[in-house]
Structure 1
């Protein structure tokens, strides 16, 4: 029995000795052999998809805090060969605490990374080159904590291509410094660039011991300066290593809300300067920006924004409300350039904006948004009750619809832009219902006396990356009709050049003449709108016209011929010509027609106009 025990003991000691010798030889080889270190590290790290390639020398300083230095490193994803490397690092230096390993943590005293280059790629299938495992990781559980005491990154670059949205993102890190400890707060400070704008970051949080404490909320602070955009986050996170429950306050301010796209992935229109503050939280996979209040330009803004970044593509849902809305702050929704670039529009002497949409952003996210407003800061047109709803689905943008009031009338707008095409096809339909003409033209005193409501429809199809390109290529039709209104008698007589009656109204005072009907009916082909019917029928006279409007260069030419119902000795039956551009119109009278001092031969014909028939033809 003693013999067997001695034999087993000797065998155990022999195996233990062999193990120590093998382990010692491995340590010696790892300590003094560059080739062995390279082979050993690559063997441990490499997986079926991940390939670590150490091309330069490796250095090891032995001690209770050994320091390992690797030179000329590259990381590949063998499943996605392009780009060639996921990351390239000029030098990586790592110092580890051996004593802390026995506590169950990897305690890194110092990690220094020099000149890293990161190349991230997502293909059309949504596969990413930074994913090295087929198993989906549980994002709600942090398995094995790594504690960094000091972190330094210098001269880094970052490239990201999203094949689904066909968009490139790039940036750089001039310097990044991080520090922390088991009982010391964690801080990170970074200076660099992103999308050709400066990007500076300063973050602070509780210590690593607080991170592992589930009883107390974990404090976090984050400040980001992206160009002229400033973002601040303050608050706490419950259960940060299990199922994080953040309770944060988010503040954002900047010159243009569209500049948030590279940070959020949500396509937003250009805007005036803004400032927004609200509560940021997470429920399951969806982030909530609730109870926010802010200002965009002269408009106030409240509401809720939901974002689910785990869906492909990202999904958002916005419900926004403005008590007071400045119409100029909505200019970005229709492609009007911002205040900083309005000067170029004026210099071009053009009314239709030519500011290009970045329709690639439409493929970066799906979602829907709604904006409502009750009061408007707008002196020229009395707008009321704005309600705009839009959706983005697989690159297709829809306004469904956008509605607002003008006095007692309504305007409804539908639009569909197919952002997956280049240039995108765009369908636009606008319905106007009972719009008061006097409220639309308020600057001219006599025209303001005009009473009556207009109805109509515009329906066009175009293609382009700006409103100007869309209208310049548009095909479709439009009509406007008015019945049972009134118009200034002075205007009617001046249009008919009835000098006798016009002088009478000028001396004795103006009156209003009933409008029997007015009809404008046009065809639009390749950006040129040509009149089919242009007629104003009053109890005093009938005005016929014809002409065109080019949406390509904003030129127009309209000829109007009045036919008075009565005879005046100073009636000049003449043709009035309007021409020029929308912003620079010119007025002239046909000199030959002014010689006709006799009453028109067709006075009887103007009595036979069938308004109902003409309106019905225009609508059809």
Structure 2
């Protein structure tokens, strides 16, 4: 009887516990789990249903998990909805440690809505409760062993980046390793975006001892990029060892991807090593092609300030000048033309881009090519700081000479204020004439100054003030050009056939004043062994029109010489040359015109041209000055005229 009572007392609790287990609803525990999850994430978390399968490996299944947006973030959809979330816990370890020890997590059917609004508020920044700090010298252990994601999507909207794209997210096993795969489609910078990103296990994100592999292929508009290599602790940007490839029709399209403003370029393809350290991104071992120009060097970006700080050291073995047209507001690329048939670059200068970054650039080109490029090499040092561009200096080699210029561009309400000062030293005349189809020899010196404001390079010149001065002595020119200037038709025909091929150049002086975009000749003299040519007129940079008159006097009688002057008119892109017949007494008219044109020559600073050491040009300039009439008074009754300094 007593044994039966013991069995009864023991059986009733067991049966009661069994009945409780069979009828127990884990939904009673759901509110407590929701409170703990909400406190951990700093967001309201709700759970539709919860089921627990106890055991050595306890399986917790949560359905319809909803993670809300921050309280002050206005959006119709929640941040995330997860159809099924399965957690596998180590039961014994959880009991011993009195905390949940999660081994595996399975996510199925997650939908994430990540957004950043125009006011820079976003819903993807979490205030996660801090856990125990890692032991010094050890990498933090992942919170669980594996994470499996299936049938999940993320929708990202970012107002500042003008981005709106979907991402399909899943994990997979690949050769014994877990990978995460993200497929993208949508828009970025208002351009179509597609791509695939394959990375290592999410659990290795913070494992500094195990570099995280990545292979990303992205196409944004017409720009294509690929990133292959390893990242160290990607969440903390601890470092990188990857190869980056970029290709597209125009480097200016890279700004939304890099944050760095780049002028328009021809089609390009570059590759190099990308790494991160000391809070800077470094693009090293860079090689590639921009149009017909090869490009190599290094690029460093420091993103910590209010705007990126970029330092670049770039070089080219051979540069095509046509590929650099975008840097002065032109259309880059060989054969490219602007629609309005203008010669001066007329594309608007991108003033907002001046404020996008601080840039420190050194660029060197060992060889400059192009049929219309008379220079041999190029060396430029550029600083863009707080919107102000300074080229100090820009050097261009030409034979034994060079062009050295300092340029400052300051953005303002009316466009860009440009100040330029360039000196031309020992420039090879043969290079200059070859660019326009002529022949010659000798060295040219000069200086050009500009101060103007505008929204394009053409507009800056059209509103500019300054001066242009050139001069040389010695050398030679194609006789055909000299003969045409004098319309000495017989010699011109002979010269065209190479008889004679050249004429010696004794002196050349050109001095123009630039006022409100109009170049006015202060003096224009060309003297050869065969002829003296003087000129006057204007060049209007605003509408690119020529209005010049040249008169030539042969030093020797020639067959078919005509007493004429030569007119040059038309536009830069379509100039015309025509004879102007001198009526009445040709000799008298020509002499009067020469006296008018010679008058400004007495004011020219000879040393400014670099020709003061050559007596030939100085003698010609002195001779070209108009002669004063003879004073009939006795010599003792008048003061001696001051001598012109030598």
Q: TM-score range by the shorter chain?
A: 0.7 to 0.9
Deviations 1:408-459 (A, max 9, x none): 22122332222365522222333222212222122676x40x3222222221
Deviations 1:442-500 (A, max 9, x none): 2676x40x322222222112223322222222222211212223334454344234457
Cα deviation, residue 399, structure 1: 1.8
Separation in 2, partners of 1:604, 1:589:
17
1:451 counterpart = 2:441: yes
Residue aligned with 1:510, SS: coil
User: Match of 1:82?
Assistant: none
Contact 2:472 2:609 in 1 (8 A): no
Question: Cα distance 1:440–1:394, how it changes in 2: closer, same or farther (>3 A)?
Answer: same
Separation in 2, partners of 1:444, 1:240:
56
Separation in 1, partners of 2:351, 2:335:
20
Q: What are the within-5 Å matches in structure 2 for residues 400-415 of structure 1? A: 400-415=392-407
Question: Cα distance 1:566–1:305, how it changes in 2: closer, same or farther (>3 A)?
Answer: same
Contact 2:537 2:548 in 1 (8 A): yes
User: Match of 1:246?
Assistant: 240
Q: What are the within-5 Å matches in structure 2 for residues 126-145 of structure 1? A: none
- Aligned-pair Cα RMSD in Å: 4.2
Question: Cα distance 1:545–1:68, how it changes in 2: closer, same or farther (>3 A)?
Answer: same
User: Match of 2:575?
Assistant: 585
Residue aligned with 2:61, SS: coil
1:531 counterpart = 2:525: no
Cα deviation, residue 93, structure 1: 0.5
Pick aligned residue for 1:189 from 138, 160, 183: 183
Question: Cα distance 1:69–1:430, how it changes in 2: closer, same or farther (>3 A)?
Answer: same
User: Match of 1:546?
Assistant: 536
Separation in 1, partners of 2:291, 2:150:
43
Pick aligned residue for 2:347 from 336, 350, 355: 355
Contact 2:212 2:230 in 1 (8 A): yes
Question: Which runs of 5 or more structure 1 residues have no equivalent in the other structure?
Answer: 1-23, 47-51, 78-84, 161-168
Separation in 1, partners of 2:461, 2:50:
73
TM-score, with length taken from structure 2: 0.74
1:176 counterpart = 2:168: yes
User: Match of 1:80?
Assistant: none
Separation in 2, partners of 1:67, 1:578:
86
Contact 2:563 2:581 in 1 (8 A): no
Compare 290-299 and 147-156 and name the one that shifted more.
Answer: 147-156
Residue aligned with 2:226, SS: strand
Question: Cα distance 1:565–1:240, how it changes in 2: closer, same or farther (>3 A)?
Answer: closer
Question: Cα distance 1:406–1:148, how it changes in 2: closer, same or farther (>3 A)?
Answer: farther
Q: What are the within-5 Å matches in structure 2 for residues 273-284 of structure 1? A: 273-284=267-278
Cα deviation, residue 569, structure 1: 8.7
User: Match of 1:427?
Assistant: 419
Question: Which runs of 5 or more structure 2 residues have no equivalent in the other structure?
Answer: 1-23, 52-59, 90-98, 128-132, 611-646
Residue aligned with 1:263, SS: helix
Residue aligned with 2:331, SS: coil
Residue aligned with 1:383, SS: coil
Separation in 2, partners of 1:524, 1:330:
26
Residue aligned with 2:162, SS: strand
User: Match of 2:461?
Assistant: 471
Question: Cα distance 1:157–1:483, how it changes in 2: closer, same or farther (>3 A)?
Answer: same
Contact 2:351 2:415 in 1 (8 A): no
Contact 1:88 1:118 in 2 (8 A): no
Separation in 2, partners of 1:486, 1:226:
55
Contact 1:61 1:68 in 2 (8 A): yes
Question: Cα distance 1:107–1:414, how it changes in 2: closer, same or farther (>3 A)?
Answer: farther
Separation in 2, partners of 1:604, 1:548:
17
User: Match of 1:159?
Assistant: 159
Cα deviation, residue 265, structure 1: 0.5
TM-score, with length taken from structure 1: 0.77
Pick aligned residue for 2:77 from 89, 111, 119: 89
Residue aligned with 2:353, SS: helix
Residue aligned with 1:219, SS: strand
Cα deviation, residue 303, structure 1: 1.1
